[in-house]
Chain A
Amino acid sequence: GDSVTQMEGPVTLSEEAFLTINCTYTATGYPSLFWYVQYPGEGLQLLLKATKADDKGSNKGFEATYRKETTSFHLEKGSVQVSDSAVYFCALSDSDSNYQLIWGAGTKLIIKP
């Protein structure tokens, strides 16, 4: 069945560092891919998404490109801020999952000033 694998955290970076959080997926169909973010004490919110191969989702300085050849959707940001400290979840949905979101385990990001 479908699955999502994220790099384990926590990931600790200094402010203004470059961020990459790896996400790879397994799916038999053509899934839509998502990154959600959960700030401390809050629910999850959609950060960005991509619905087909080579699409690039972007929001708040974060980007992720849907790479079908490597089945990846890595999250990147050029210069992180303390306010980016949160847990980041990669997820997919497609017809095989009955459009239920299949979630990665989440990666905690800690940004130090």
Chain B
Amino acid sequence: KAGVTQTPRYLIKTRGQQVTLSCSPISGHRSVSWYQQTPGQGLQFLFEYFSETQRNKGNFPGRFSGRQFSNSRSEMNVSTLELGDSALYLCASSFGANLPQNTGELFFGEGSRLTVL
């Protein structure tokens, strides 16, 4: 079956702009999580959506937001971009906790690499 698809794979923005990243989960998965990965900070959890509701949130400023649609596809948005937002943004999908199908495994996309100039 098709894996997790993230678009775009690469993008360059300038400070102050905003960006929207998209993630299509594996068919049947209702949970989508977003992570920011940088060389200095490692892998940091942004937020998780399950059935269109934000269920968990990491410690990021309000400039980072997301949403999930009824088909489980998710988008994340970063407004007023800063140089420090340059990172690889990873999306991961799963069945979601407390479901019989849940194995605890996350399935990751290849990421969207954002460069802020």
A contact set with B: CB distance below 8 Å? 32, 34, 36, 41-46, 49, 51, 89, 93, 98-101, 103, 105-106
Contacts and interface: CB of A to CB of B under 8 A. Distances in A.
B104 A34 contact: yes
Interface stretch (B14-22, B67-75, B106-114): B106-114
Contact of B48 (A43, A44, A100): A100
Nearest to B3: A43
Contact of A46 (B42, B55, B105, B109): B105
Contact of B97 (A45, A49, A51, A99): A99
B56 interface: yes
Nearest to B31: A99
Contacts of A100: 33, 45, 48, 56
Interface of B: 4, 33, 42-43, 45, 48, 55-56, 90, 92, 97-98, 102-111
B43 A99 contact: no
B111 A43 contact: yes
Contacts of B98: 99
A51 to B, nearest CB: 7
Contacts of B55: 98
Contacts of A103: 42-43, 45
A100 B106 CA distance: 10
The 8 closest A-B pairs by CB, nearest first: A99-B97, A43-B108, A44-B108, A32-B104, A43-B110, A105-B42, A93-B104, A46-B105
B5 to A, nearest CB: 11
Contacts of B48: 100
12 contacts: A34-B104, A42-B110, A43-B110, A44-B43, A44-B92, A44-B108, A98-B55, A99-B104, A100-B45, A101-B104, A101-B106, A103-B45
